[in-house]
Amino acid sequence: MNILAFFAHPDDETVLAGGCLALLSKLGHNVHYLISTRGEGGETGTPPICTQQELGDIRENELGQAVNLLGGMSLTLLNYIDPIVGPDNILYPFTDNPTEVVKQLSEVVEKKSIDIIISHGSNGEYGHPAHKLIFQIVKMYLEKPAGQIFWYTAQAEYDPAPNPADWVLDTMTVRKEKIIAAKAHKTQLALFVRRKSKELARQVSIEEVIVNEESYHLAFGCTDPLFDLFNEKGLILKKGKNIHL
């Protein structure tokens, strides 16, 4: 199968779906990556690794390393500019023209003969407007005749999403790959740790940030090929239409 991992920023692919994507690559499937921005508007690391002006190039390099570590077949960047985080950590979408992104997505899907798209959930995992925008873009694309495409959204473990997980994947066998890929995103490590530390009310390591399970929702498709594939390998931990982690 040809799989497209379509996300908003560098690091989304690893944190949200790195285990699934690494497993698919190990099982011999072609995993292609489509990322909308270079993450220019994010953090530069603690202490800073680069200037804000240098961040896009740095994060593009980090992303390339992570994709290679996850066994990716190709990486495409759409070259949208990630807006700078605003006052009080206000986040923004990366474009006000989703129709143009739908066109670009269509071109990549056709060029790569994509069978399955894996992307953001409907609520943007933690409400990020750029993540929500990706969800809407894929939805717009699939509202038109697009061949037999299956669409899965990665569900954050703390996500009370309106579209609950259909199954939970055991990613323990690729935990090492996912941790190393996460560490490739050096400018984001402090952010990863800070969020998890706040959630658990204690200081954590990057190894503790990386979970051993990932959950997925089948957003579009009449069957569930990924469930069947992973279930045959004994990698499904839970299943059902009302799973909430």
**What is the Cα–Cα distance from 124 to 129, expressed in whole angstroms?**
7
pLDDT number for residue 243: 66
pLDDT band at 157 (very low <50, low <70, confident <90, very high): low
Residue 152 has pLDDT above 60, yes or no: yes
Residues 161 and 238: beta-carbon distance below 8 Å: no
pLDDT tens digits for range 165-176: 899 999 999 999
Q: Does the pLDDT at position 144 exceed 60? A: yes
Q: How many CB atoms lie within 10 A of CB 74?
A: 14
**Top-ranked range on mean pLDDT: pick from 25-39, 113-127, 186-200:** 25-39
State the pLDDT at residue 72.
98
Amino acid letter for position 176:
K
Tell me what pLDDT residue 158 has: 47
- CA quadruple 164, 170, 176, 181: dihedral sign: negative
- In order of 7, 54, 75, 187, 232, the CA distances from 239 in angstroms are 25, 44, 31, 35, 13
Q: 64, 105 in Cβ contact below 8 A?
A: no
| pLDDT tens digit sequence for 58-117 | 999 999 999 999 999 999 999 899 999 888 888 899 999 999 999 999 999 999 999 999
236 burial via Cβ count (<10 Å: 0-12, 13-18, 19+): middle
CA atoms of 100 and 230, how far apart (whole Å): 34
Per cent of the chain over pLDDT 90 is: 79
Edge-to-edge strand list for the sheet holding 236-243:
74-80, 30-37, 2-7, 116-119, 150-155, 213-220, 165-170, 236-243
Does the structure show a pLDDT above 70 at 161? no
| Confidence label for 242 from pLDDT (cuts 50, 70 and 90) | low
Average pLDDT over residues 34-47: 95
For residue 155, what pLDDT is reported? 79
Cα dist from 121 to 48, 133, 189, whole Å? 30, 10, 23
pLDDT at site 40: 96
Look at residue 150 in the predicted model and tell me its pLDDT: 94
Q: pLDDT: is 211 or 115 the higher one?
A: 115
Would you state the pLDDT for residue 156? 64
Note the pLDDT of residue 244: 53
Listing DSSP states for 92-136 in one string gives --S-S-HHHHHHHHHHHHHHHT-SEEEE--TTHHHH-HHHHHHHH
Beta bridge partners of 155: 215
Residue 78 has a pLDDT of: 97
All domains in the chain, ordered by first residue? 2-243 (3.40.50.10320)
